[in-house]
Chain A
Amino acid sequence: MTVLPAQLTSSLSDVAEGYRRHSDAISRGVLWFLIALLFSWAAIFETDLFIAGLIVGSVLALGAIGLTLIYGILGFANFAHGDTMMLGAYMAFFFLTGTVVGKRTNIDVDLGWSIDRLPGATAGLGDLSFGWGLLLAIALAAIVLAVFSVGLDRVVYRPLRRRGSGIVIFAMAALGIAFSIRALMLIIWGPDPRRYVQGLHYANEYPFGVVLKTDQIFIFLVALGLAAVMYYVLFHTKLGKAMRAMADNPDLALVSGINTTRIVMWTWVFAGGLMAIAGALLSIQALLRPILGFELILPLFAATILGGIGKPQGAFIGALVVGVAQESSIQFLRSVGFEDLSIGYKPAVAFVILILILLLRPRGLFGTAT
């Protein structure tokens, strides 16, 4: 008789284990099904919004990949990610135009040197609204942001790591940096919207009623190209594998002899460069505003958590989903009876997605059970 309880417990735990695995597979299946549903609905009935969503999503992905790597490798939520993206966008603006705001409002100061003074720098490349000057400015911004991110880690986050600070301290530090960066952007470039290029640019019509500017196609291709580069780095280079290893288990990475300090540095280099490029790409098709960084935080986190924290491939898929959902869901709600729904509710979509994932499957698409 004494064996019975042991047998019972073990078979009960078997059942629990089976149930856990089952529910894991089910919740993942449901999630993928919902995503497939959203994508096919949007692709068929709102093709142009679907395309617009993919474009926004691909750019968000560049930010989300960095965010998820930082979360995985350093173990904290970088609330400054959105604002740093905007800082990158403004750095590109600065290199391109040499403009900062003067002492009195609405009086810009031109520093007297800038890329757009170089001959031919602003002449549109092909059908694009901008010339090679902007591309050079974005590349410079990416380098500056990579260096800035590494420096910020040395000054702020590394001391916190050495002290063994908790996750809340890190989050508060990141929040403080976010506020500081936003204030800095307001001081240097003012609250008024900026743009990289002046003048009007017409969109072209494509089959299935899709209307696109060539700029948007460019943005999408660059974002996809960079995501592919990141995929190659993360899955086919030793450095990238070590970054994924660290995101999996930082303690074991250290024990394996991986130079974790160097991996952390490279993580910030990649994240910083991607943030600058993502911010600048977003600003090509919208206006530059300091507050945009704050508005990016929610979609970035929704994408990261949807994909599974620490999983770069998940962040990529998650960002596309958030992009498409954001662009198309207001139209969807209008078509099912909420005719007067304002487009201003768009930012709320990311929030809804975030809540749904946290309820349905907190570990996201690619997350593994622990």
Chain B
Amino acid sequence: MTFALEATGLVAGYGEAEILHSVSVTVADGEMVAIIGPNGAGKSTLLKAVFGLLPARAGEVRLGSEDVTNHTPDRIVAAGMSYVPQVENVFPSLSINENLEMGAFIRRDGLPERLERVYEMFPDLTSRRRDAAGKLSGGQRQMLALARALMLDPTVLLLDEPSAGLSPKMVHIIFKKILEINKAGTAVLLVEQNAREALSFSQRGYVLVAGENRLEGDAAGLIDNEEVGRLYLGES
């Protein structure tokens, strides 16, 4: 079986410090997968290593059948993977339209069609195309960040804490949007502090602890798992 995304035995870190010690994650075509775990488990680091922002010291990243290990982000974007960082994920002084245009920077053609398709998915942004992104509220920014990442219609979308800094109501709206994106055919790999919400929308989940795979399985099974519940879902 080929996966949309297959990361095997990734080792990565900053300087002397090794954060990830051989982590493996797979995402099937059209699947939505959540990575949960305590602070400092290496969740964000994993996404960075997958996306080529941090050199993988060992291991392999495959996008479909293509080996993209340690490729530069522009090549990874061209290969069909997009990434939404946790914070500062819009260009504040650029207009909404320009933000989206930057999402399609590597393609020369088809910009009007791409814009139209994305505006259809995010109707709230349509009326504000000319506004600077810096004027948007937190939730709207997150929507724009998602929209930017979808400009090239990627096969895999990486999301780093999409719920960070949002109100509980907004968190739910964002997750519903992510589910909608996923239903439209994009495989999603997301990292979340908000473990219960993330698992309830995902099909599968991984628990990362201290830079290693701890548990993996069906999202529903992980929610019911006693250890997961005790450690990461705030149950006593």
Which A residues form the contact surface with B (CB < 8 A)?
A: 238, 241-242, 244-245, 247-249, 251-259, 311, 366, 368
Cβ of B77 under 8 Å from chain A: yes
A241-B98, A245-B98, A251-B85 known; A257 and B93 CB under 8 Å? no
In the bound complex, how far is the Cα of B166 from the Cα of A355, in angstroms? Answer: 38
Residues of A within 8 A of B78 (CB): 257
A242 touches B105 (CB 8 A): yes
A238-B101, A241-B101, A242-B102 known; A255 and B73 CB under 8 Å? yes
Q: Which 6 A-B pairs have the closest CB atoms?
A: A257-B77, A248-B91, A257-B106, A257-B74, A258-B105, A245-B91
| Cβ-neighbour of B92 out of A241, A259, A368 (below 8 A) | A368
In the bound complex, how far is the Cα of B102 from the Cα of A259, in angstroms? Answer: 11
| Cβ-neighbour of A251 out of B76, B88, B92 (below 8 A) | B88
Q: Taking CB as reference atom, which chain A residue is nearest B83?
A: A255
Cβ of B134 under 8 Å from chain A: yes
Inter-chain contact total with CB atoms closer than 8 Å: 69
Those of B158-217 within 8 Å (CB) of chain A:
none
Cβ of B118 under 8 Å from chain A: no
In the bound complex, how far is the Cα of B103 from the Cα of A258, in angstroms? Answer: 8
In the bound complex, how far is the Cα of B91 from the Cα of A247, in angstroms? Answer: 9
A248 touches B94 (CB 8 A): yes
In the bound complex, how far is the Cα of B73 from the Cα of A251, in angstroms? Answer: 11
Residues of A within 8 A of B53 (CB): 254-255
Residues of A within 8 A of B92 (CB): 248-249, 368
B88 touches A252 (CB 8 A): yes
B88 touches A259 (CB 8 A): no
A256 touches B103 (CB 8 A): yes
Size class of the contact patch on chain B:
20 to 34
Cβ of B51 under 8 Å from chain A: yes
Those of B46-95 within 8 Å (CB) of chain A:
51, 53, 73-74, 76-78, 83, 85, 88-94
In the bound complex, how far is the Cα of B89 from the Cα of A248, in angstroms? Answer: 11
Q: Taking CB as reference atom, which chain A residue is nearest B151?
A: A256
B91 touches A257 (CB 8 A): no
Residues of A within 8 A of B43 (CB): none
Residues of B within 8 A of A258 (CB): 74, 102, 105-106
Residues of A within 8 A of B98 (CB): 241, 244-245
| Cβ-neighbour of B93 out of A242, A244, A251 (below 8 A) | A244
Give the Cβ gap from B144 to chain A, nearest Cβ, in Å.
11
Give the Cβ gap from B156 to chain A, nearest Cβ, in Å.
14
Q: Taking CB as reference atom, which chain B residue is nearest A246?
A: B91
Those of B126-175 within 8 Å (CB) of chain A:
134, 148, 152
A248-B91, A251-B88 known; A241 and B73 CB under 8 Å? no
| Cβ-neighbour of B94 out of A245, A251, A254, A259 (below 8 A) | A245
Give the Cβ gap from A6 to chain B, nearest Cβ, in Å.
14
Q: Taking CB as reference atom, which chain B residue is nearest A313?
A: B93
| Cβ-neighbour of A254 out of B73, B103, B134 (below 8 A) | B73
B88 touches A253 (CB 8 A): no
Give the Cβ gap from B53 to chain A, nearest Cβ, in Å.
7
B74 touches A368 (CB 8 A): no
Q: Taking CB as reference atom, which chain B residue is nearest A247?
A: B93
Q: Taking CB as reference atom, which chain B residue is nearest A254?
A: B73
26 contacting pairs across A/B (C-beta < 8 A): A238-B105, A241-B94, A241-B98, A241-B102, A244-B98, A245-B99, A248-B92, A248-B93, A249-B88, A249-B91, A252-B88, A252-B91, A253-B102, A255-B51, A255-B83, A255-B85, A256-B102, A256-B103, A257-B73, A257-B78, A257-B105, A257-B106, A258-B105, A259-B74, A311-B93, A366-B93
Give the Cβ gap from B16 to chain A, nearest Cβ, in Å.
14
Give the Cβ gap from B44 to chain A, nearest Cβ, in Å.
13
Q: Taking CB as reference atom, which chain B residue is nearest A253?
A: B102
In the bound complex, how far is the Cα of B82 from the Cα of A254, in angstroms? Answer: 11
Residues of B within 8 A of A241 (CB): 94, 98, 101-102
In the bound complex, how far is the Cα of B103 from the Cα of A249, in angstroms? Answer: 13
B85 touches A252 (CB 8 A): yes
Residues of A within 8 A of B148 (CB): 256
Q: Taking CB as reference atom, which chain B residue is nearest A242?
A: B105
